[in-house]
Chains A and B, each alone.
Chain A
Amino acid sequence: DGGITQSPKYLFRKEGQNVTLSCEQNLNHDAMYWYRQDPGQGLRLIYYSQIVNDFQKGDIAEGYSVSREKKESFPLTVTSAQKNPTAFYLCASRRDSKRYQPQHFGDGTRLSIL
């Protein structure tokens, strides 16, 4: 079955450490997104990519980095510059970012600080 796989489901980070969250999709979707959710808030966009080898910053990109070397993969790195990384991270994808297409979601990764 096609879908989005995020891993790990739970992740713990030490102070000053970079960690990478994986997001893989086998839906042949062009567009992929990373969102963050904090307690008491809705989702906020971190980064998105409309096509391979291209990505744009979202509303809260500081302290994060991404790559899109392959169509099916859009890993998110939470760097040590992100001072408050504890949150729920959700990856999503759509076939085409320009037109109406259903959005698919991963199951999310919960990141906590040790």
Chain B
Amino acid sequence: AQSVSQHNHHVILSEAASLELGCNYSYGGTVNLFWYVQYPGQHLQLLLKYFSGDPLVKGIKGFEAEFIKSKFSFNLRKPSVQWSDTAEYFCAVKVDYGGSQGNLIFGKGTKLSVKP
């Protein structure tokens, strides 16, 4: 069965530190990849997505992610975090069966705490 692994359960950084959150998935075919963010007290919001093309994807709020097919990875990065980035981050994968739609599979999430 397909699965999504987020390596870190909780990451604590100081402001201005660089961020990289790992995400690996288990399916070897065509996939659509997503990163979602959930700020305290709010619902999920889409940060960025990858469907095809340039494997380096730019998202909102200075986030980016790189799709490395050979490593089955889609790591999220930000060069310099801010206190307002404190949130929980979810990686999600949808398998593309070439016409029929696979289900969206989420990782367990990584909680990011940024110290001011």
Interface residues of A (CB under 8 A from B): 33, 35, 37, 39-43, 45, 48, 58, 88, 90, 92, 97-100, 102-103, 105, 107-108, 110
Contacts and interface: CB of A to CB of B under 8 A. Distances in A.
Contact of B88 (A88, A100, A105, A110): A100
B61 interface: no
Main secondary structure of the interface of B (DSSP, over half): strand
Contact of B46 (A42, A90, A105, A107): A42
Contacts of A108: 103-104
12 contacts: A35-B44, A37-B104, A39-B101, A42-B49, A43-B44, A45-B43, A45-B44, A88-B103, A92-B44, A98-B40, A102-B108, A108-B104
A105 B38 CA distance: 13
Contacts of B44: 33, 35, 43, 45, 92, 103
A87 B101 CA distance: 9
Contacts of A90: 104
Interface of B: 34, 36, 38, 40-41, 43-44, 46, 49, 51, 88, 90, 94, 101, 103-104, 106, 108-109, 111
Nearest to A50: B41
A105 B106 contact: yes
A97 B90 contact: no
Contact of B103 (A92, A97, A107): A107
B51 A33 contact: no
Given A42-B49, A88-B101, A110-B101, A103 B38 contact: yes
A98 B88 contact: no
A98 B101 contact: no
Given A107-B103, A108-B103, A40 B51 contact: yes
Most A Cβ at <10 Å: residue of B40, B44, B46: B44
A43 B46 contact: yes
Contact of A88 (B41, B104, B108, B109): B104
Given A42-B34, A110-B103, A33 B43 contact: yes
